[in-house]
With several copies, the nearest count.
Chain A
C-alpha cells in the first residue's frame, strides 16, 4: 500500500526534452518509476532513452498514463495542466516554479471539479519508496518504511527524510506540497490519505511561515487523526513582510507566523521539533 502512487502508476513527463524534465525523468526511471512517454510540443517523433516523445498528451494517451509530471516554463503551465486534466490523467504534478497564482487557482479548481489530484506547483513531488517517484527528490535518501512525510519545502524535506532514514526508520510516502501560496494539496488533504494508508504508522509534517495551512491541519488532527504526528516549522526567525524564498513563505499582517503554527500543533498534541535533526528523535 502507498498513497496516491504505486507500481501501477504510469507516468508521462510533459516537457521531457527540457533541461529539468530530461534530468528528472532519467532519475525517476532509475528509481523504478514506470515512465511511459514524454510530451514536448514540436518534438513529437523523437525519443527520450527508449521512450517515445509526442507533441500532445492526446497521443501519449495510448500508453494509458495515469500521472504526469509537468516541467514546462511557467507561462505554459496552465495550458499543459489543462491538457492533462482534460484527458483525465488522475495525478498531475507540476514541478515548475514561478507559476502565476491566478493560473494555479484555475488549475486547482478545474482539477478538483474533474476529480484529479494536483501536486505542486513548485514542490519536489511525491515518492513512495521504491514503488514510484514523480518529481525531483534525490533517489538515495529513501528507505521503505512506515513514516509518511508531507512538506512545504524541497531541500529541507530531503534533509529530514535523510535524517529519518539514517536513524533507522523508513518512509511510506513523501509528498512535497509546494512553496507557492496556492498549491493543489493542503496538509489536511494528505493527512486524510496518511490516516487511511495501512502502511503509514507515523506522520511528519514540515511546515513553514505563511498562510494558515498548519493551523487548519492542527484542528483536523485533533478530530480525525489517530496516528502519531510530529512536525517541524521553519521561518521562526523570519522578519514579517519579507518573502523567504518561497512565494508562500511570508508573514502578512500577523498571519502565518511560526509561533502561531507551533502553538496550534502543540495544542493538537503534535510535538514540534526545534531543529530538523530532532525529527527522528520525536518519532521514537
Chain B
C-alpha cells in the first residue's frame, strides 16, 4: 500500500529522518504567507510527477497562490490532485539514493544505496549500487551504515548523517511493516545537511491490523476496485469485455490467460475465494455487472467452494440483478452434478472442463 509523499514524510519526521519544512494544502485558503522560495508538489501516487507538470516552484506569494490553485483539482494521468505539499526549496548540492526493500528471493530486507540520486535506481549501473542483505532475526547493525558510506565515498560529516538516516529508515521499514522505503533523492544541501526531498513508503496491506492510525485510499485502484476491496474480493479491472468470476487466484489468472490466448478479452480479475455462501456469489456478480461486460464467464473448481452453492448464487444473481447478458459457466468438483442440475433448471448450460467454456464465451464476446 503506497503512502502519499506527505504521509511518508510525516513518518520520517517521527523517526528522526530530516525532511524539508512544509505543509499540506487541500484548498487555496490553506496557503500560508510566503516567506521563502517553495516547491509545490501534487500529492498523487505516480512517479514522474515533475515531467507531468505536477510540481511547481514559487518565488513569490503570487507564484505560490497561483501554483496551488493550478495544481489543486488538476488531473495528472487520470488522477485528480486533491492535496499539494508546499515545501521549502532546498539548496541542492548533490542528490543520492537510499532505500530498503524486501528481497523476495532471500526473504530478507535489502539495503540499497547509490551516490546517483534523483534518477530511477533501475537506470543506475549495478557497480554504482551498494546492496546488502539484513538478517531479519537480528535487524539493522551499524556496520551496514559504515559499509554504505564507505561505498558511497561520503565525507565524514555527511557520512555520519547518512548512517543515522539509514538506521532510522530501517526502523521505519521494520516498525511500520514496509515493503519499501525509499528516499530519492536524499539531498546534500549547500550547507552540508542531508534532507529527504522525497519519500516513498509502501506498507504491507496485510499488516494494517497493527497500524490502525494509517488510513489511506489507494488511488492506484479504480473506484470499482476499491468497492471490491471493501467487500473483501480480490478484484482487478482490465480493459476487455468478458466479466470473469473464478475461485482461487491462480485459477482466475489461468482463466484470464486462457481467454486471452483464445482472443477473448477479460474485463476483470475476480477471485471468489473459498466460500460456501450464495450471497458471496451474488455480490461478485454485482461488481462484475458494474463493469458492464458483454458476457460473463464463471469458472469454478469446487472444493471448499461447492458447485451447487455457486449455481444457486448464479441463479439468484440473474434474478436479483436482472442480468440479461450471457453467462457461461464451468463447474467441476464438489457437488458438480447438483450444480449443473440447478443451472439447467434455469436454462444455463454448465461445462465440466475449462476449454469449451472459454471457447464459448470468447466467441460470444468476440464482436467487440
Contacts and interface: CB of A to CB of B under 8 A. Distances in A.
A59 B102 contact: no
A249 B251 CA distance: 12
Contacts of B122: 253-254
B234 interface: yes
Contact of B250 (A74, A98, A106, A208): A208
Nearest to B270: A245
Interface in B142-195: 142-143, 146-147, 150, 156, 174, 177, 179
A249 B137 contact: no
B261 A136 contact: no
B257 interface: yes
A237 B249 contact: no
Given A238-B253, A245-B252, A276-B254, A56 B143 contact: yes
B260 interface: yes
B147 A56 contact: yes
B80 to A, nearest CB: 20
B135 A79 contact: no
Contact of B107 (A109, A162, A244, A277): A109
A17 to B, nearest CB: 15
Contact of A83 (B104, B143, B204, B269): B143
Contact of B260 (A137, A210, A237, A244): A237
Contacts of A254: 122
B301 A277 contact: no
B254 A58 contact: no
A66 B303 CA distance: 27
Interface in A35-73: 41-42, 44, 55-59
A101 B204 CA distance: 7
Interface stretch (B61-69, B85-93, B206-214, B314-322): B206-214
Main secondary structure of the interface of B (DSSP, over half): mixed
Contact of B303 (A102, A108, A136): A136
A152 interface: yes
Given A41-B146, A156-B251, A244-B253, A274 B261 contact: yes
Interface residues of A, number: 79
Contacts of A208: 249-250, 253
Which of A80, A245, A276 counts the most B-chain CB atoms under 10 A from its CB?
A: A245
Nearest to B101: A252
Contact of A100 (B104, B147, B204, B271): B204
Contacts of A93: none
Contacts of A238: 253, 256, 269
Interface stretch (A5-13, A190-198, A211-219, A263-271): A211-219
B256 A237 contact: yes
A176 to B, nearest CB: 10
A134 B109 CA distance: 30
Interface in A222-261: 232, 234-239, 241-249, 253-254, 258
B249 A138 contact: no
A159 B254 contact: yes
B104 A82 contact: no
B105 A234 contact: no
A284 interface: no
A14 B141 CA distance: 16
Contacts of B210: 75, 100
Contacts of B266: 237
A23 B108 CA distance: 34
Contacts of A162: 301, 332-333
B353 interface: yes
A100 B105 contact: no
B104 A182 contact: yes
A115 to B, nearest CB: 14
Contacts of B366: none
Contacts of A58: 147, 150
Contacts of A249: 249, 253
B39 to A, nearest CB: 26
B354 interface: yes
B334 interface: yes
Given A212-B105, A238-B253, 4 more contacts: A100-B204, A102-B136, A182-B102, A244-B252
